[in-house]
Amino acid sequence: MKWNIPNLLSLFRILAAPFLLLSGWLGLPALFYAIFLSMLLSDALDGFIARMLHQTSALGARLDTYGDILTYVSVLGASWWLWPDLIQSELNYIIAAAVLYAIPALFALIKFGKLASYHTWITKLSAVMMGAGVVILLLFKEALLFHWAVYFLVIELLENLLITFLLKEEQTNIRSVWHALKMRR
């Protein structure tokens, strides 16, 4: 494993996930927010730093993807313990988000035997919307941005499915469908 700053930031999210779950299990919302916001910050910085330092790699893309998955799962679990009524009221949107994330992941897994780690521009925008939507939902009990983020996942799903369809072999860090089309030629 290449021990560089971007990979360590992604690894931090992977290692922080159990502690986020523990904060929910123990009923410690302040600790939850501290860990969750640290995870979001590390997610925002890892790719930026990787590009700035020319340290992008397939390993880094995979670590980032695994960190994203563990962040989503641990936030949901911890939130269920901390705010069960809120999670119950948003369950339809949460299930929709899970399905919208799972479909392109399963398609890539079937086609390539690996999860996709495209990190497209749409995926980045979606991550910002979802992260902000979840924070606003949990802090202020306001669901509008979270709902918009779930609707925006449909666009992300379509782009990821199309990229997977277009690629002949598994690739990481594809910026858009247009880039996937150029790679196909």
DSSP codes of every residue in 117-154: B---HHHHHHHHHHHHHHHHHHHH---HHHHHHHHHHH
Residue 76 has a pLDDT of 98
pLDDT at residue 185 is higher than 80 = no
Residues in the chain: 185
H-run or E-run covering 16: helix 5-25
Which helix (H) or strand (E) segment is 161 a member of? Answer: helix 144-166
pTM: 0.93
Measured in degrees and rounded to the nearest 5, phi and psi for residue 172 equal: -120, 165
Question: pLDDT by residue (tens digit) across 15-68?
Answer: 999 999 999 999 999 999 999 999 999 999 999 999 999 999 999 999 999 999
C-alpha to C-alpha distances, 3 to 9, 30, 59, nearest whole angstrom: 10, 31, 11
Q: What's residue 1's pLDDT? A: 55
